Amino acid sequence: MTEPFLLLASNSPRRRQLLRWMGLMVLFHAVDLDETPREGEVALQYVSRLAQAKARAASAYALPGWLVLGADTVVVDGEALLGKPTDEADARRMLRQLRGHTHRVCSAVALYDPQQDQLWQDVYCAEVPMRAYDDDEIEAYLKTGDPFDKAGAYAIQHPGFHPVETFADCYACVVGLPLCHLARLLKQAGRLPQLGVPLACRVMLGYRCSVFPQILGTQGLISGFE
């Protein structure tokens, strides 16, 4: 078996799946951090700080030659940062707050080389238009148990609830790991994914992305992203 070269500082099954779709050799080790936002901290600062902190914390478990990946995602509605709900009432509040209008989802990725003490970091915010689902739909979704480990109390990919409509941004960002941005970091670190990222999104997520050319750039696509 080929030795993994990437250690993900998370137990998220969604991030694991996305990384596997990229053809990456990955192991996983979650880290326990205080994820409370600091006073006055805005979304980009918050997710970037946590992604970097996760990568550095998990680096103690990386073998020589491995890179460590930290990632963090937050839902932003106006000035409010919505993380994972604390209980059912909190999830219900978030879902009611988000319905019928557009919010942002910000995801940060941090790639860390412990041996060289070198860190590459990127962040992206996607615009997410929520449909006007009703209270009965919220209650049915809460019964599935799906909202409780999700920022903003929802999963864009949930087949029963399908909370988002007319989406035209980075789907992987909302799932929790913006793949094109990770591909850029891997390229900077000298390690390209085996599978073109736009192709992975198209085939595995069933989503034809319209924003990847602006993120990866034409030269990036020609040189090995696609």
Q: Fill in the amino acid letter for 158.
A: H
| Closest C-alpha among 80, 81, 56, 79 to residue 69 | 56
Is 32 a catalytic site residue? no
Q: Which domains does the chain have, with CATH numbers?
A: 6-225 (3.90.950.10)
Set 72, 113, 122, 169: catalytic member: 72
Structure confidence at residue 7 (pLDDT): 95
Cα 49 to Cα 71, 122, 148, 179, 221: the distances in Å are 10, 11, 23, 19, 29
Report the distance separating Cα 92 and Cα 107, nearest Å: 23
Q: For each successive 10 residues of the chain (226 residues), what is the average pLDDT? A: 75 86 85 92 96 97 93 95 96 98 97 96 97 98 96 93 92 92 89 68 77 70 40
Structure confidence at residue 5 (pLDDT): 86
Query: SS3 for 31?
Result: coil
User: pTM of the prediction?
Assistant: 0.88
